[in-house]
Amino acid sequence: MAAPSMEVLRHTMVPVAQEVTAVEDVQIRRLISEVRVVGGNSGKQSKAFTMTDADAACYTSRYSDMGGKNAKDHFRLHGDQEGRLPTCARELSDYESETYLHTFPELQQKFGDGLSAIKQARNHYMTTGYS
């Protein structure tokens, strides 16, 4: 007997998104706001963390409300206490992007399925879900 294809497994194991009630929507938005990294650390850094120049560039592009402060200074004075992430997000693999997509039904509902949805989920993770 041949093993089932990934397509068959995906549709068997991942529930189809259903209508989301207002209460569920609030709960989902709260969960999304708490997500920092899929399959990685929580975004918490030790006190010995040193932001590289590349990290500072990512931090500056990720957070537009720094009021002209240097990224390293802003993170040290405000960002760490606010739970902001001082490092660059790594790009998700297709599998991780699809997992991220299916972890949040509202994203699957918004983006759908297939390669386009996976690309949109990856972009969402990099621009919204990770920050």
Helix (H/G/I), strand (E/B), else coil: 12: helix
At how many degrees (to 10) do helices 94-103 and 115-124 cross?
80
pLDDT recorded at residue 116: 92
| 82 close to 66: Cβ distance less than 8 angstroms | no
Helix residue ranges, H only, the chain: 6-13, 22-34, 53-62, 71-74, 80-82, 94-103, 105-111, 115-124
Distance CA 77, CA 74 (A): 5
pLDDT recorded at residue 89: 66
Q: What is the pLDDT of residues 3-52, one digit of tens each?
A: 656 665 555 554 555 565 666 667 766 666 665 444 444 445 445 567 88
CA angle 70, 71, 77 (to 5 degrees): 90
- The answer to whether residue 120 scores a pLDDT higher than 70 is yes
pLDDT recorded at residue 37: 44
Max Cα-Cα span within the chain: 63
- The answer to whether residue 114 scores a pLDDT higher than 60 is yes
Q: What is the pLDDT of residues 63-113, one digit of tens each?
A: 888 888 899 999 888 888 887 878 776 778 888 888 888 888 899 999 998
